[in-house]
Amino acid sequence: MKRILFLMTMTFSLFAVSLNAQTEDLFNGKDLSNWNFIVDEDKAPAEDVFSVQDGVILVHGNPFGYMYTKKKYKNYVLELEWSWIDEATNSGIFLAIAETKKGNPFPNGVECQLKAGIAGDFVLLGGSDLDEYVTPADGRPKFPVVQKREASNEKPVGQWNKAKIEVKDGKITVYINGVLQNQGTNKVKEGHIGLQSEGGPVQFRDLKLTKL
């Protein structure tokens, strides 16, 4: 009996270690040491735009820019929460960032829009593309959009919203506050993950990535 209990305990422990090995905290709650930064035309020091306050990431929104993971990722589920501070404004989550350029706030990557009222839209940045995007007759705009599926389901200013994003073999699936809002198929299978500064102050917390 003791041997059976011992084997069960060891099996459970190994299973737990395996699960933990697949989950990564993208934010340690203390600093932004796992991230790099781009600020529009270097108009301000990165630390004036991106900082940590009371255990959450504070993105000031001005100047434009983004912070992005030092590592590239593929085949994962990303979960995070965001909250507006003073008013509902604009930000985004950048996915599959294939190329960055100093001083350019718009990398080659797909943005999961967080702008108030349209959270869940896809915005195609820097020449990125999704199979679901159809170029209009008058030509491709500077910022092509694949619109979300459902009506806006965002929470009021001061409350925390949750985004859950699965990226699997280039297919991107986005849930906003538990509602399936968008899906897109990307030819780029691996890239950095970013958080945008655009419009106004926003907070982020509980950034967890689970590898698939």
Asked if pLDDT for residue 7 goes beyond 90, the answer is: no
Quickly state the pLDDT bin for 17 (edges 50, 70, 90). Answer: very low
The pLDDT score that the predictor gives to residue 14 is: 47
Least confident of 20-29, 77-86, 168-177: 20-29
- pLDDT value, residue 204: 98
Residues of the chain with pLDDT > 90, as a percent, come to: 90
pLDDT for 3: 58
Report d(CA 202, CA 86) in Å as an integer.
9
- pLDDT-derived band at 128 (thresholds 50, 70, 90) equals very high
Q: In whole angstroms, how far apart are CA 56 and each of 77, 83, 160, 202, 207? A: 20, 10, 12, 10, 10
Mean pLDDT of 71-97: 97
C-alpha torsion angle, residues 135, 61, 176, 79 (rounded to 10): 110
Give the mean pLDDT of 129-151.
97
pLDDT band at 10 (very low <50, low <70, confident <90, very high): very low
Q: Determine the average pLDDT of the residues in 42-50.
A: 98
CA–CA dist 21, 125 (Å, integer) = 32
25's CB contacts (< 8 A; 6+ apart) are 207, 208, 209
β-bridge partners, 174: 165, 182
Question: Does the pTM exceed 0.85?
Answer: yes
